[in-house]
Structure 1
């Protein structure tokens, strides 16, 4: 009997942070959940980081993590982000696809934290070697593109009948995103089931770009100045001049 990607081993990654700016905000907590098959027990690893900056009231209202808690029980952010990157690398070496809801947010923020604390990048580090990402937000938009309504994790779990207990807690969100991704694959086997996880990873980059272009067109028509990044699953770093940071960039702002 053929095993589809959604019936095999999956990992799932999520973070809680100081805000939504991937370039400047910091990781406060993170979780990695691994499940070898649907219905099998999960193995969960969690991290609590002292981000080194105050946690804004708005972020604290979402995830409930206080400055006092991270100072008393969190570990240095540099230590945490290095361990998280190593854990993702281990899942890549094991051949486990990693579910990341709205991947360009969590993975880009992790990349910037690695740059900030270690001068390393997620794109060129060990986690990039074989890391296959499954993003339920992109998958859902592809298979049911004309459905109206929001597509947050809470909304998607409600739509697909997946339990989300303790929203905005990293382990709970990662667990729900993993179950959600399995549910999407099982519901749309014709569209998704015949592909390998690696093929899906590559196609999601194309699907996300198309979805982002559609959103940008809507913003443009409505007069909204917001710009949508087409990159998936990781947004490229940019220097002060706005261009991508690449070898040989040669811009004084990158110095």
Structure 2
């Protein structure tokens, strides 16, 4: 049976910004779906302990005031997220996450910030990730247009209400992954272990191509050196601690 017909664990974070080393989790979702079983979302609203910038609120709609009034302590939530993902991995489910290095790296740094054992230390090499962004670029590299989650949902005719909320985006990532597998035989015909490994190669190639583009783009040459090639997350030892 192809991996996309089994149980998937969607994962998404909404955060205070885009810096995986410094920014904080504001909301999160881990959702189980597929495999002939009901959709089972777990969602969290977090008090990140810092102000939420207006730019971030404009994306996900969560203000500092709402997070402080209704959110739970960040350390408690981070531990629960890590354990929810570890349970999914132990059950044999791949973690489906759009642009995996962002969400998984930020979760890793949050865990370390609060003295919580990171996910990769718990599950070791059992972690299998499905990244619709990487797969879409690999199988359809010359399609014009952007490749955000909203774009892929539109491409595959998937309804995405409440975009940029963790619960909607986590479930949408799973559905996009399934649509990709249905459309592209090379994805559904590849065993999960092999697909995880090949996505690492694809992600590195895509990052190298983007760095090359930046290097030859006037005014953006300096950005090329900062392009990350690691997937599905940036190893802690390769960056400064938060």
Aligned match for 1:32, one of 30, 35, 39: 30
Deviations 1:156-198 (A, max 9, x none): 1111211111100000001111100000001001x11221112
**How far apart, in 2, do the equivalents of 1:117 and 1:103 lie?**
21
Q: How does 1:81-230 map to 2 (within 5 A)?
A: 81-118=78-115, 120-123=117-120, 125-189=121-185, 191-223=186-218, 224=220, 225-226=222-223, 227-230=226-229
What is the deviation of 1:128?
3.7
In the aligned structure 2, how far is the partner of 1:141 from the partner of 1:160? 15
Label 1:78 to 1:127 Cα distance change in 2 as closer, same or farther (>3 A). farther
CA distance in 2, matches of 1:92, 1:157: 25
Deviation, structure 1 residue 120: 3.6
Aligned counterpart, 1:237: 236
| Higher relative contact order (CA closer than 8 Å, sequence separation 6+) | 2
- Tell me if structure 2 keeps the 8 A contact 1:88–1:127: no
TM value normalised by structure 2: 0.94
Number of aligned residues: 237
Q: Distance in 1 between matches of 2:153 and 2:235?
A: 29
Shift of 1:237: 2.4
Does the Cα contact within 8 Å between 1:27 and 1:77 map onto a contact in 2? Answer: yes
Cα-Cα RMSD:
1.5
**Structure with the higher fraction of residues in helix conformation:** 2
Report SS of the residue matched to 2:181.
helix
Give the Å deviation of 1:94. 0.2
The alpha carbon displacement at 1:119 in A equals 5.7
Change (3 A) 1:219 1:67: same
